[in-house]
Structure 1
């Protein structure tokens, strides 16, 4: 299936998620929302922009492929226009390429990269765009960012090629979408729900709640009753420890490059995780997880999900 088939022969409904800086989003929305309204009317695509006063926001494009790529082209044109106007205000500067990020489920990144990087190399050569798949998942999600840079036409062609791969290799398992958050919001769990604390308010976080519930379903620990009030992931009063063993040959996929994966699991779960040194004659490593019942079960779930990905050849260290 080539990109021509995507545009013409199949009436496929696509969803593309773009991760953008707030300033770029403001330009796309336009004064009183006029710019985004025009994009919706002319393309026929559904264009949804995430709420919130965050440094980053998500723009979701959904609809038939022709509508999606029309809307996408209009967004790229707008970004290019902004680059041109900023250059004209500072003469002598060289014009940078248009750069944007799309967000995709991590389980599809293996297909996008291909064996030994062959697929992503093919996409780069075919489209002329620079493409980089992030090695780590975005915070509190199972999605990764793909950064694309180049001319308007090369970026559009590159996204079409990525869409072909994504249609041919649907996501596996549960996808927890990335939702940009104001930086530094502590997370608390109460009554089986996750909340981010922002000032005096606790804002429900459905994505984290889903992850937390998945962990609790598979956990040997009892969930703390909600009538005991809020329990933070770092609640010292309810600290406990849990040990698990992981085969030596799989420990690398848990640790990740320079400890990136294990740090990500620590950050998402709020648990302390210690990996014992190898023991002579043993084919396993001891992993000790310390924290509240909720944070331990979340850490254990994330470790098992990582092991499961490795077993099916999807994990990328």
Structure 2
């Protein structure tokens, strides 16, 4: 196994801890990383390839075949760059505009999901989530490290960055600088998208079929009630519960973020309240583990009208059982 994708020097734990709290990080340390891995949606892969693969071949010629994309028939692929960091960032500067145009959120806005070793995820998140918050504020990005490793008993986790193209590149440079100073612990088992099953995409940061890049995680607001009928105005994430070729109606997934302190109002004693909400709405409702920021992500899976009802019932529970309010 080539450890060039996850390099690290022999620093003590004390040195690492000290470095994580140092705002003046040493970005002059030469990197030994030779492989940069990203998880991308199949639609982004198709855009990078272009018509008859001409765009992809042009990029490979320009960068001397230092680009590779896994060729599997699943909703997600692995994009790989080979070489030093300067070369990788140059390739990224060429590819991100293609992805941004394909994703179609707005000009110059893109989502990129970098793959990092599980043992290094803590260095990116930081103590109590302070590092990931710093990235958000410093680079004006929506950043998230997903809680689960990628499928197939791997040791890779996903760092998602959403925002303006130049900010993503600058943020990634700092991320890789941190990783270069954080030794990998344990085995290295990389993700093969052939193991994709579509079941756990929300927790490891994968892509559902026909992934909607314009979907956003909604901040839960109990003071803004959902209606049982009418237009469904929330953007929803078209992730499927299972990867299926059926042409019939498919459930979608909406994620809402709440302060962890409000979770008990929705769950109820011995989870009795959430069980009732699931039964009444007909939705699958999953609570992620609390984030370092003391927020919690709730995934609601079902048909759009059922999801609206589930949100309404959760909002009612919060208003009835707590006096807290949440700003959107």
Q: What TM-score do you get using the length of structure 2 for normalisation?
A: 0.49
**Contact 1:43/1:70 (<8 A) preserved:** no
Which residue matches 1:164? Answer: 177
Shift of 1:183: 5.0
Distance change (3 Å), C-alpha of 1:96 and 1:72:
closer
Higher helix share: 1
Instruction: Specify which of 76, 79, 82 is matched with residue 99 of structure 2.
Output: 79
Distance change (3 Å), C-alpha of 1:45 and 1:111:
farther
Which residue matches 2:109? Answer: 97
**Contact 2:27/2:174 (<8 A) preserved:** no
Partner SS, residue 54 of structure 1: coil
Shift of 1:2: 5.4
How far does the alpha carbon of each residue in 1:264-300 deviate from its partner, in whole angstroms, 9 at most, with x for none? xxxxxxxxxxxxxxxxxxxxxxxxxxxxxxxxxxxxx
How far does the alpha carbon of each residue in 1:232-283 deviate from its partner, in whole angstroms, 9 at most, with x for none? xxxxxxxxxxxxxxxxxxxxxxxxx9698xxxxxxxxxxxxxxxxxxxxxxx
1:127 aligns with 2:139: yes
**Contact 1:19/1:57 (<8 A) preserved:** yes
Q: Give unpaired runs (5+ residues) of structure 1.
A: 88-93, 186-256, 261-317
Question: How many residues matched?
Answer: 178
**Contact 1:45/1:68 (<8 A) preserved:** no
Partner SS, residue 157 of structure 1: helix
Shift of 1:34: 2.0
Which residue matches 2:34? Answer: 14
Instruction: Specify which of 44, 59, 63 is matched with residue 83 of structure 2.
Output: 63
Distance 1:131 1:155 in 2: 10
Q: What TM-score do you get using the length of structure 1 for normalisation?
A: 0.50
1:155 aligns with 2:178: no
Higher relative contact order (CA 8 A, sep 6+): 2
- Give 1:109-258 correspondences, 5 Å limit: 109-140=121-152, 141-181=154-194, 183-184=196-197
Q: Give unpaired runs (5+ residues) of structure 2.
A: 1-23, 199-285, 290-328
Higher strand share: 1
